[in-house]
Amino acid sequence: MARYIFVTGGVVSSLGKGLSSASLAYLLQSRGFKVRIRKLDPYLNVDPGTMSPFQHGEVFVTDDGAETDLDLGHYERFSGISAKKSDNITTGQIYSDVLKKERRGKYLGKTVQVIPHVTDRIKEFIKNDIKNEDFVICEIGGTVGDIESLPFVEAIRQFSNDIGKKNTLFIHLTLVPYMRASDEIKTKPTQHSVKELRSIGIQPDIIICRCERNIPLDQRKKISLFCNVDIKNVIQTIDVKTIYEAPISFNNENLDKQVLNYFKIKSKKNVNLTPWKKITKVVLNPKKYVNIAIIGKYVNLKDAYKSLDEALVHGGIHNNLKVNLIRIESDNLKPLDIKNKLNNVSGILIPGGFGKRGTEGKIEAIKYARKNKIPFLGICYGMQMAIIEFARNVLKINKASSTELDLKCIPVIGLIHEWKKNGKIIKGTDKDLGGTMRLGSYDAELVNNSLIRNIYKSRLIKERHRHRYEVNINYKSQFEKKGLIFSGNSPDKKLPEIIELKNHPWFIGVQFHPEFKSRPLAPHPLFSSFIKAAKNHKK
């Protein structure tokens, strides 16, 4: 039977619950156990798919087509386990399910209430789709004390009762601030947070204390005493220099050991930290670097392109160098500053995006990359912009654009009405925006003798998608005559998946999002190749 580990957060948000859960997952896996990680999000959106990156950072996409919280990206990158639709739930989804059931009369005339109906649905989610896992780690979003997260905390309290306390472990992550003025480490916020948690029925078994510096034994004793937790289970986590150090640091602090002790389980194997040590070394002591420009609408927001930033770093690790990300706001990119702003970069990347704002700046930058033979990677919207740029400036179709931007244009990019998945036809729409895009993993066939085929070293690939518009196949031969080839296509040949330029050292556009599948211990070949091309690019 699976053991459940619930991770809550206290005092403030952004303490790194996601990274702590993901690191613990790695450590337990490395000790020979099968692990799943899940996220319970208290907000009311059914999923984060319709949220602006300004609100909630990147939307992460799973193989099975769920639009999820970006923490699932951390989980995948650290644990190597591909997340599923069944690994992320929100209050919106829970209520939507409960209300649908109520409309169908499934509650047999009862008054539908938060307890037990909403909490029951949360408990169903926690148990759902678990087979032979040894551990299920569930992170509760938000901070203890929020009104929104109350039903989740109540549900995990009940859950622990249902399956037995010895099968559930509560980890609470809190802030232990250091006060510079008095040169003191303060435990009071942690005490208060644990008091809050206990008032809603949960006694934490392990407290992870986030602190800027070492927490002295006296302060640990105080936390242990006031929070009623074994001193060995007061675990500190000091800010790491790179996130890749996190599994090493948690192991040094015995987090994984204490988790196994709690459940009275023996480790099956020794933990292997060598891969993390290796990449930490490369990241912290780079010998060389490359500058890569990311041109997008949300570049000033730290988490908006989380997986992409990570994938570029992974590409750097593979090439033994540091990638400096130069973030350029596409809105302000006027033709006259292009040269100035892109003068010292060795690679240009246009990420995914939506809507008209900033597109002209992106198109100008692509023209610059094409003409000056600078390595270029266009992802999803970036590939669509590269098609528009080529159509306008090489094919001389002046009114070429996407129907997403201009309904009266010559549509080299258009709304796709249907596509095939596992032999079934799926219909697209732009009326209902939630979950109606072409989402999740789809196959692409790569053309012989193309650059992309050489990079993937395979004829058939699977990559994750998240888009509503597609390259218009009717212009294929016009593009190919002028040297822009469609080097990857859907198996039915209707949807161009990859484009590349013949007379350019490295110019690739992909309709999918390769960044979602890159992992620090297994960098994605497309990013490794892009960074290698940037390294070889002579400025």
Site string for ligand GLN, 421-450 (x = CB under 6 A): ------------------------------
CB of 330 to ligand GLN, least distance (A): 13
Query: Is 101 a binder of ligand GLN (CB under 6 A)?
Result: no
Which position among 211, 380, 497, 500 bears the catalytic label? 380
Pseudo-torsion of CA 313, 315, 320, 325, nearest 10°?
Answer: -40
How many binding residues for ligand GLN (CB under 6 A)? 10
Q: What angle do CA 99, 87, 12 make, to 5 degrees?
A: 90
**43 or 381: whose CB is closer to ligand GLN?**
381
One-letter amino acid for residue 380 of the chain: C
Among 469, 512, 516, 527, binds ligand GLN (CB under 6 A): 469
Q: Taking contact as CB under 6 A, which single stretch among the options 194-202, 326-334, 455-463, 464-472 is the one that binds ligand GLN? A: 464-472
Which of helix, strand or coil describes residue 490? coil
Nearest to 236 by CA among 254, 261, 263: 254
Decide: is 467 part of the binding site for ligand GLN (CB under 6 A). Answer: yes
Per-residue contact track with ligand GLN, 336 to 365, x per CB under 6 A?
Answer: ----------------xxx-----------
Q: Is 468 in the site for ligand GLN (CB under 6 A)?
A: yes
Cα–Cα distance for residue pair 100/2, rounded to 1 Å: 30
Q: Which is nearer to ligand GLN, 59 or 173 (CB)?
A: 59
Burial 377-416 (b: 16+ CB within 10 A, else e): bbbbbbbbbbbbbbbbbbbebeebbbbbbeeebbbbbbeb
Q: Least distance in Å: CB of 123 to ligand GLN?
A: 34
Q: Which residue is nearest to ligand GLN (CB)?
A: 352
With residue 444 as reference, give the H or E element that holds it.
strand 438-446
* 318, 504, 513, 524: the active-site residue: 513
H-type alpha helices, 299-447:
306-318, 335-342, 359-371, 381-393
Q: Is 513 a catalytic residue?
A: yes
Alpha carbons 39 and 18: distance in angstroms, whole number: 9
Q: Which is nearer to ligand GLN, 24 or 416 (CB)?
A: 416
Q: Which is nearer to ligand GLN, 9 or 353 (CB)?
A: 353
Least distance from C-beta 362 to ligand GLN, angstroms?
11
Applying CB under 6 A, does 380 fall inside the site for ligand GLN? Answer: yes
The span from the CA of 211 to the CA of 235, in Å, is: 10
Nearer to ligand GLN, 321 or 412 (CB): 412
CA-CA distance, 360 to 332, in Å (whole number)? 10
H-helix or E-strand containing 112? none
Report, in Å, the least distance between residue 421 CB and ligand GLN.
Answer: 16
211 is catalytic: no
**Least separation in angstroms between CB 353 and ligand GLN:** 5
Catalytic residue flag (residue 245): no
Residue located via tokens 């309904």? 407
Closer Cβ to ligand GLN, 342 or 350, answer by number: 350
Taking CB under 6 A as the binding criterion, the range among 83-91, 294-302, 460-468, 526-534 that sits at the site for ligand GLN is 460-468
Helices 274-284 and 306-318: crossing angle, nearest 10°?
Answer: 90
How distant is the alpha carbon of residue 135 from its chain centre?
22
Q: Which of 210, 464, 466, 532 binds ligand GLN (CB under 6 A)?
A: 466
Query: Of 363, 9, 391, which Cα lies nearest the Cα of 170?
Result: 9
Rounded Cα–Cα distance for residues 341 and 295 (Å): 11
User: 177 or 353: whose CB is closer to ligand GLN?
Assistant: 353
Least distance CB 50 / ligand GLN (angstroms): 13
404 near ligand GLN, judged by CB under 6 A: yes
- Determine phi and psi for 259, rounding to 5 degrees: -65, -45
Active site residues: 380, 513, 515
Q: Note the residues at the interface with ligand GLN (CB under 6 A).
A: 352-354, 380-381, 404, 466-469
